[in-house]
Amino acid sequence: MFSKLAKAQLKSNLIKEAITSYLKANDPEDYIEVIYGANSGGFHDDLVKYLLMCIKKVKEPKIESELVYAYAKTGKLSELEEFINTPGMTANILDTGDRCFDEGLYEAAKILFSHISNYAKLASALVRLGDFNGAIESANKANSIRTWKEVNLACVEHKDFRLAQIAALHIIIVPDELEELLNVYETRGHFNELILVLETGLNNESAHMGMYTELAGLYSKYREEKLMDYLKTQYTKINIPKVIHYCQMNAQWPELVFLYVHYDEFDNAALTMINHSSDAWEHPLFKETIGKVNNIDICYKGVQFYLGEHPLLINDLITALVNKVDHSRVVQLVRKMNQLPLVKPYLQSIQEKNVTAVNEALNELYVEEEDYQSLRNSIDHFDGFDAIKLAQSIEKHELLEFRRVASYIYKKNQRWQQSVDLSKLDKMYKDAIETAAESKKQDIAESLLEFFVSNELKECFSACLFTCYDIVRPDIVLELAWRKKIIDFAFPYLIQVLREYTTKVDTLYKEFDKKKNNDNKNEPSSFTAESQIHPGPFVSAVPQIAYYPMNATPDMGVPVNYGMNVPNIGMPFQQPPFGM
pLDDT of res. 288: 93
- Spell out a b/e string for 322-341, using b for 16 or more CB atoms within 10 Å of the CB, else e: eeebebeebbebbeeeebbe
Is the overall model pTM greater than 0.75, yes or no? no
pLDDT of res. 543: 45
Of 580 and 277, the structure prediction assigns the larger pLDDT to: 277
| 279 vs 301: CA distance, rounded Å | 18
pLDDT in tens, 133-191: 999 999 999 988 999 999 999 999 999 999 999 999 999 999 999 999 999 999 999 99
Question: Does 498 have pLDDT greater than 90?
Answer: no
| 217 vs 266: CA distance, rounded Å | 22
Q: Is residue 292 very low, low, confident or very high in pLDDT (cuts 50, 70, 90)?
A: very high
How big is the CA angle at 391 (ends 388 and 397), to the nearest 5 degrees?
160
Kindly state the average pLDDT of the residues 527-547.
43
pLDDT of res. 9: 43
14 φψ region: left (φ > 0), alpha (ψ -120 to 50), beta (else): beta
pLDDT of res. 229: 95
Question: Does 249 have pLDDT greater than 60?
Answer: yes
Which range has the worst mean pLDDT, 29-43, 122-136, 339-353? 29-43
Question: Does 507 have pLDDT greater than 70?
Answer: yes
Question: Does 576 have pLDDT greater than 80?
Answer: no
Q: Is residue 265 very low, low, confident or very high in pLDDT (cuts 50, 70, 90)?
A: very high
Three-class SS of residue 328?
helix
Question: Does 99 have pLDDT greater than 70?
Answer: yes
Kindly state the average pLDDT of the residues 24-39.
50
Kindly state the average pLDDT of the residues 394-420.
91
pLDDT of res. 57: 63
Burial of 121 (0-12, 13-18, 19+ CB in 10 A): buried
Question: Does 492 have pLDDT greater than 70?
Answer: yes
Q: Is residue 577 very low, low, confident or very high in pLDDT (cuts 50, 70, 90)?
A: very low
Phi, psi of 250 (to 5 degrees): -105, 10
Q: Is residue 332 very low, low, confident or very high in pLDDT (cuts 50, 70, 90)?
A: very high
Dihedral angle computed from the Cα positions of residues 210, 215, 220 and 224, in that order, rounded to the nearest 10 degrees: -160
pLDDT in tens, 369-386: 999 999 999 999 998 889
Question: Does 20 have pLDDT greater than 60?
Answer: no
Of 370, 373, 410, give the one whose Cα is nearest residue 390: 410
pLDDT of res. 521: 73
pLDDT of res. 35: 55
